[in-house]
Structure 1
Amino acid sequence: MSATLDAPAQRSLVRFKATFGAYVALTKPRIIELLLVTTIPAMLLAQRGIPSVWLVLTTLVGGTMAAGSANALNCVADADIDAVMKRTKARPLARHAVPTRNALIFGIVLGVASFAWLYATTNLLSAILAVAAILFYVLVYTMVLKRRTAQNIVWGGAAGCMPVVIGWSAVTNSVDWPAFVMFGVIFFWTPPHFWALAMKFKDDYAAAGVPMLPVVATPVQVAKQIVIYSWVMVAWSLLLAPATSWLYTGAAVLAGAWFLLLAHRLYNAVRDGEPANPMKLFHMSNTYLTAVFVVLAVDSAIGLPVLGLPF
């Protein structure tokens, strides 16, 4: 009898776990992880030391809710695209695991909660920046740029750069030049990162009617753009040298050289008609960004003497 009574409860538990997992999936946790990796170093650099643990935690919570809101609303707007693409057809709305109305409400509630939380625990500037990032990602990138221009990821990627600015503002209640430099590192990193992925899945984007650069340009043209943005990214990363020490600068040079090597190898392979593996650069780009920002965090935490401006 006990087993009979337990069966409905077990089925309810299974349904609850599936539903909970679907809502978590709407927030795209893997993307959020990468965003948070950049937030903490930005806070450490702003402090040039270790900020209050409470401030770090509250900023991460607020940032997670803001990113989750943007991603959930993106899933709502892109449900038709996600259902067509092999890479995204398992997303909750594409497989009807969550009602569209519920997903929309969930995304909006997360966005409102992120503003309220950051305003209450950090400052108004951070809260406003978080909402601005959500609105830009959903309204500008998802609803305007993504389906209309091959430059979609270039300008739309600006939303993904906002965590470093939010992290800086949470500590200083302002936005200074190092925050803009960190913003630029991620901004110029996004095209090589995403275009490498899009080269692999260009047929998916073509089927969905999304004009990602690999869909509308030749592989050689795409690889050339990847090289150009990679050089700009590496050069831009060195602009943080005056606010950091030899540790960050050396790591940025080494990591940048590694990135450029793979970018040029991809271009050379595509140009020469040889087998190319853009996913190698895609996965390495995650490692690059993580490594650069982790070293930035260590550099800031241990408080090594900064190189300073040469004038």
Structure 2
Amino acid sequence: MNWISSVVRPKISSFWTKRDTPKNLWIKCPETGEMVFHHDLESNGWVVPGSGFHMRMPVPARLAALFDAGGFEAIPTPQVVQDPLKFRDERRYQDRLKDARAKTGREDAVTLAKGTIETLPVTVAVQDFGFMGGSLGMAAGEAIVTGAETALASRTPYVLFAASGGARMQEGILSLMQMPRTTAAIIALREAGLPYVVVLTNPTTGGVTASYAMLGDVHIAEPGALIGFAGPRVIEQTIGEKLPKGFQRSEYLYDHGMVDMVVHRHELRATLARLLRVMMHQDPPQDGAVALPSPETIPEQASEDPVEAMADNSEPAPAKA
């Protein structure tokens, strides 16, 4: 083999070799079609800089951006029966759970954490729509109840970020039973005089909206979030009429008194801190110093392409409870 075949030809061939690039290197805004570099999107809190469209925020980034200096302590939740009904449709429910856990790196749809927001201790629950559409099952219900019990034991406010398609159809009546269970836990918080604040993100629908997501002392919605029980298409088919523009979106619900405020994600942390201090009858920090999230604590890359997560939800639509 001479130098032409061993050196020159490989160098020439390398010009036509396709290079591997990350799937989410550039992300398209669903609203305007604008292409955004993923690092720019992450550094802007998963808000498209040009249009202001709020993409779904990964759970680790959400928690890191919320707590002081990005530090928090994860709260473990009790184990539940994995597949109580031995459910199977096109695939086994156990296989769907395995795929969702591999995809998100979490045991189920709700993650619990505790930390401080502007020095005020807070218990937080975050639903992950990437885990089977954030559907409410036994594990998610147990996590929400555990979060309420933790807030009661530590005498802290309870903040919940809701994002769900409804009850988890694979668990049947056991899923629907989580609605009264979580409602009872929220009532216990209210009787103890502890604040319960709900942040409604895109989307919050079905049995979640019909239970703990609409029982907050204050309801904050992110801009453009879809919030309702049944989807707009189902409602249109049922009543046989065209719905108003923006129906079931945050701004529409604010105008009609269903949510208390619509807050941009960049202002959410400060808004929550101000509300919780008032509700807990606490003064602001005396020195005025607040530990902001450090860039090192916010994950640089999500575990999945957020556009694919919005557009390609392979899970069956959860039953609307």
Query: Could you say which structure has the larger radius of gyration?
Result: 2
Higher helix residue share: 1
Task: Please identify which structure carries the higher strand content.
Answer: 2
Q: TM-score, normalised by structure 1?
A: 0.30
